[in-house]
Structure 1
Amino acid sequence: QGIAEAQFSLGKMYYEGQGVRQDYAEAARWYLKAAEQGDPVAQNNLGVAYAKGQGVRQDPVQAEQWYRKAAEQGYAQAQYNLGVMY
Structure 2
Amino acid sequence: AEAQHNLGLMYDNGEGVPQDYTKALDWYTKAANQGVAVAQYNLGLMYKNGEGVPQDYVKAAELFQKAANQGYAEAQSNLGLMYNNGEGVPQNYTKALDWYTKAANQGYA
TM-score by length of 1: 0.94
- Which residue in 1 is equivalent to 2:18? 21
Cα distance in structure 1, aligned partners of 2:8 and 2:60? 17
1:85 Cα shift? Answer: 0.7
Whether 1:82 aligns to 2:79 is: yes
Whether 1:11 aligns to 2:4 is: no
- Which residue in 2 is equivalent to 1:33? 30
Equivalent position to 1:50, from 47, 53, 78 = 47
1:56 Cα shift? Answer: 1.2
Which amino acid letter does the alignment assign opposite residue 69 of structure 1?
K
How many residue pairs were aligned?
Answer: 83
Which amino acid letter does the alignment assign opposite residue 48 of structure 1?
L
Give the secondary-structure state (helix, strand or coil) at the position aligned to 2:10: helix
Coordinate RMSD, CA, aligned: 0.5
Residue ranges of structure 1 left out of the alignment (5+ in a row): none
- Runs of 4+, deviation exceeding 6 Å: none
Cα distance in structure 1, aligned partners of 2:82 and 2:51? 17
* Seq. identity, %: 60
- Using CA pairs under 8 Å that are at least 6 residues apart, name the structure with larger relative contact order, 1 or 2: 1
- Which residue in 2 is equivalent to 1:64? 61
Cα distance in structure 1, aligned partners of 2:17 and 2:65? 30
1:38 Cα shift? Answer: 0.1
1:12 Cα shift? Answer: 0.4
